[in-house]
Amino acid sequence: MAERTVHVPLGDRAYDIVIGDALLDTAGARLKAKFPGRRFGIVTDTEVAREQLPRLIRSLDAAGIGHVEIVMPNGEATKSFARLGEVVDGLLAARLERGDLVIALGGGVIGDLAGFAAAVTRRGMDFVQMPTSLLAQVDSSVGGKTGINSPHGKNLIGAFHQPKLVLADLAALETLPPREFAAGYAEVVKYGLIDDAPFFEWLEANRQEIFDGGPARAEAVAHACENKTRFVLADEKETGVRALLNLGHTFGHALEKATGYSARLLHGEGVSIGMVLAHGFSAKLGLANSQDTVRVAAHLQAAGLPTRLADIPGELPLTTVLMDAIAQDKKVVRGSLTFILTRGIGETFIERNVDPTAVAAFIDEMRK
């Protein structure tokens, strides 16, 4: 496959997202040309270290580039203050200088953690995203949001810090567990649902080829990156329209918290259920047609994703506990709830002042 490049024209923070087939194998030559004389601190997790890190190291070594590796446990719990401290200490202990770079090699967890570590180490080091999960390739590696979780909720501590380059190697997806691939696919679907109905229709027609690794996969990743870039350019710091990217995330984050950020519910799975709930809630409010909810749920279900609260294994906490988590959402402004609602597929909008009692009643209904 020919490489594709999506440019993110953010002035002096502009960068390219390169999408291709063997980018980890050729990263050394590319990094040497773009960042001559620099050293690299590679942050990754145990799974990715086993499956993909050797390819990157071989290519850095072949290019004569100095590097150190910092390997974190895999999983959402790694987005913590303790692990952030370990990464920063590792970078400093390796005597990486402010002009050196951090590489985030992994899924969204590593991208968020390593990006935040880069943002705060020596008051800001440059970094390169090398996303290895589908979710990271289509979403988290683009746009500069970095951060960690707090016991109070997800992503509550962080910084905006744009990468200098994103290398999305499609070959890396070959070792991604199928459940993780499906979870990432939920974020791909999200772009269609937000404001791109033709893309949703295209996904309905091409889902199988995307899962099988045919040419539609590269097309889907590139299109998702273009859509994300459009939102980032319009509203880099998420004071307005970028919030649409949170479709399904208010419900999803609450469910992730309720399930202890565990394997019971992956982030993308929470987003899948959350997007169906956002459509269902919009229909309940009389804003959207309930047929759209059915269509969205059918597509996600065909992709092997959970779409109902009942699809989550184990007991869910009381609705009041879920509502408490929703109240900690980062989109809460002076205590009032903001939701991404929809008038139909591809017609989302930001709704402020959503009545919490209506949300709680809807959740109660959905539990049955």
Ligand X SMILES: NC(=O)c1ccc[n+]([C@@H]2O[C@H](COP(=O)([O-])OP(=O)(O)OC[C@H]3O[C@@H](n4cnc5c(N)ncnc54)[C@H](O)[C@@H]3O)[C@@H](O)[C@H]2O)c1
Q: Applying CB under 6 A, which residues contact ligand X?
A: 45, 47-48, 51-52, 74-76, 79, 106-110, 112, 132-133, 135-136, 139-140, 143, 145, 154-155, 172, 175-176, 180, 183-184, 267-268
CA distance 276 to 262: 21
Examine the residue annotation and report whether 228 is marked as an active-site residue of this protein. Answer: yes
The encoded tokens of residue 50 equal 């086993």
Nearest distance from residue 118's CB to ligand X, in Å? 13
* HSE (side-chain half, CA atoms, 13 Å) at 7: 5
7 part of the active site: no
Question: Which position's Cβ is nearest ligand X?
Answer: 108
Q: Tell me, yes or no, if 249 is annotated catalytic.
A: yes
Residues whose CB is less than 8 angstroms from the CB of residue 122 and which lie 6 or more positions away in sequence, other chains included:
92, 97, 98
The DSSP bridge pattern shows strands 348-354 and 337-342 to be antiparallel
Closest to ligand X by CB, 288 or 340: 340
Q: Which is nearer to ligand X, 108 or 344 (CB)?
A: 108
From 76, 180, 187, 256, the catalytic residue: 187
* Active site annotation includes 217: no
Residue closer to ligand X by CB (options 256, 292) is 256
Pick between residue 168 and residue 345 the one whose CB is nearest to ligand X: 168
Query: Which residue, among 315, 160, 302, has the nearest Cα to 242 in the 3D structure?
Result: 160
Q: Which of 228, 257, 279, 299 is catalytic?
A: 228
Q: List, in sequence order, every residue forming a beta bridge with 18; answer none if it has no partner.
A: 5, 167
* 242 in catalytic set: yes
- Cβ-Cβ contacts under 8 Å for 91 (sequence gap 6 or more): 41, 68, 70, 102, 117, 121, 125
Catalytic residue among 76, 180, 226, 238: 238
Does 67 participate in catalysis according to the annotation?
A: no
261/344 with CB nearer ligand X: 261
Determine whether 330 is an active site residue.
Answer: no
Marked catalytic residue, from 83, 161, 242, 257:
242
| Residues shown for the chain | 368
**Known catalytic membership, residue 145:** yes
Distance between CA atoms of 241 and 274, rounded to whole angstroms? 19
Which is the catalytic residue, given 123, 334, 353, 368?
123
Minimum gap (Å) between residue 267 Cβ and ligand X: 4
Cα distance between residue 294 and residue 179, in whole Å: 22
Give catalytic residue positions: 123, 145, 187, 228, 238, 242, 246, 249, 253, 267
